[in-house]
Amino acid sequence: THAAPTTTITTTTTTTTTTQSRVKKDGLFCYKCGMTETLWVCLSCGVVGCGRYSHGHAKEHYHESGHAYSLELVSLRIWEYVTGEFVQRGDLLSCPSMRRTGRSSPLTTPSGPPPSFPFRNSESTASIVEKPNDGPFKHGVIPGDMGDYYGVYSDAAKSPKKATMIGEEYEALLQSALEDQAQHYEGEISRLHATLTAEEVDMEEMTQEERMEIAALKSDISSLRVETENLAVQLLKAHDQEAGYRSTYQHLLREQAVAKGLLEKIQTEAAGEHERGTSQVEELEQQISDLTANLRMRQQIAQDNELNNAQIFGTAEASTKSSSKRGGKKSRRSRK
C-alpha cells in the first residue's frame, strides 16, 4: 500500500450527462477522426482518441507510444492496456462518497454508459477533468484507445476503511505516473529552451559580414518570390493564349478537313471530265481519220474516173481520124 500524497484536491463529481456536455463544450475531439463521443485521454501525454467501439484511435496511441494508462472522459475511469482491465476495482464504487452522490449502481453491461467515478485526492487528475483545454490534449494529437466496458462490479457493500485504502493506493499510483510524465516533459522543455538559447547566442555572435550575407539572401529570396509570382502570372497568360491558339488550331483543322473534302470532290469531278474529254477527242480523231480516208478515196476515185474518161475520149478521136484518112484515100483512088 502506497502512502497517500501530501497535497490533494477533491474533484466535484458530476453525472454522465454533465461530463458529456462538458466534453462537447470544451471542444475535445479525437486527434484522427474528430469524433466527440467515447473519448479517452492518455494520462501520460494527454492525447485524446476515440474508443474501440468507435474507430479505436486511442488504442493505436498505446501501440505506438507504449503509454498504458488512459482516462475515459465519460466515466472518469482509468484503463490499463497491459492487463486489459480498469485499474480501479469495484470496491471503489461502494465507497461512502459515491453513496452520498447516489452512484452506488455498478456497471453491468459493456454497452451502457459507465457511472462517473469521483477522484478524491488527485490534483493532476482534477486539472485534467475540470480544465481539459488547458492541458496538452487540448487539440487531440496522436492515437489512444480506450478500453472495453466489461467486467461486473460487485454490489456488496465494502467497509469505508477498505475503500479508503484502495482509493489511496490508486491515487498514489496515478500521482506517481503523472509525476513521471511531468518530469519527462519538463526535461523536454528544458532541452528545447537550452537549444533555443544556444541558437539565440549563435545569432548574437554572428559577424557583420554574416548579417549582411543573411540580409542579401533575404533580399534575393524576396526578389525570387516576386519573380516567381510574375512568372506565375505570365504562365497563366501563356495558358490562356495557348487555349486560344488551340481553339484556332482546331477551327483551322476543321476548315482544312472541309477544304480537303471539297478538293477531293473537285479532283474526282475533274478526273471524270478529263476522261470524258479524252474519250470524245479520241472519237473525234477517229471520225476525222475516217473522213480523211474517205476524202482521199473519193479524190482517188475522181482522179481514176478522169483518167478513164480521158482514155476513152482519146481512143474515140484516134478511131475517127483513122476512118477519115481511109475515106480520103478511097476517094482519091476513085478519081484516078
Query: Residue with C-alpha cell 486511442?
Result: 58
pLDDT value at position 136?
A: 39
From CA 191, how far away is CA 187, in angstroms rounded? 6
- DSSP 8-state code for residue 27: T
CA trace torsion 231, 237, 243, 245 (10° rounding): -100
Query: Consecutive sets of 10 residues in the chain, 336 residues long: mean pLDDT of each?
Result: 34 36 59 87 89 87 89 87 76 42 36 36 36 38 37 48 82 83 86 84 72 88 92 91 90 93 92 91 92 89 79 62 59 56
pLDDT value at position 320?
A: 62
pLDDT value at position 332?
A: 57
pLDDT tens column, 219-261: 999 999 999 999 999 999 998 899 889 999 999 999 999 999 9
Query: CB-side exposure of 318: number of CA atoms within 13 Å?
Result: 6
Give the residue from 196, 216, 171 showing the smallest Cα distance to 78.
Answer: 171
Assign domain 16-201 to its CATH architecture: 2-Layer Sandwich (3.30)
- DSSP 8-state code for residue 110: S
Distances (CA, A) of 131 to 11, 23, 137: 12, 10, 10
DSSP lists the bridge partners of residue 40 as 49, 72
Q: Any idea how long the chain is?
A: 336
Element containing residue 61 per DSSP (H, E)? helix 57-65
From CA 174, how far away is CA 5, in angstroms rounded? 10
pLDDT value at position 231?
A: 92
pLDDT value at position 307?
A: 75
Query: Residue with C-alpha cell 475515106?
Result: 327
Query: Residue with C-alpha cell 478524491?
Result: 120
Give the number of other Cβ atoms within 10 Å of residue 33's Cβ. Answer: 13
pLDDT value at position 268?
A: 92
pLDDT value at position 321?
A: 61
Query: Residue with C-alpha cell 486539472?
Result: 127
Amino acid (1-letter code) at residue 282: E
Element containing residue 133 per DSSP (H, E)? none
pLDDT value at position 154?
A: 44
Query: Residue with C-alpha cell 496522436?
Result: 142
Distances (CA, A) of 188 to 68, 137, 194, 201: 20, 17, 10, 20
Task: Spell out the domain ranges in the chain.
Answer: 16-201
From CA 318, how far away is CA 299, in angstroms rounded? 29
Amino acid (1-letter code) at residue 98: M
Residue 64 — φ and ψ, nearest 5°? Answer: -85, -35
Q: Coil, strand, or helix at residue 40? A: strand
Give the residue from 174, 180, 177 showing the smallest Cα distance to 9.
Answer: 174
Give the number of other Cβ atoms within 10 Å of residue 41's Cβ. Answer: 29
What is the model's pTM? 0.27
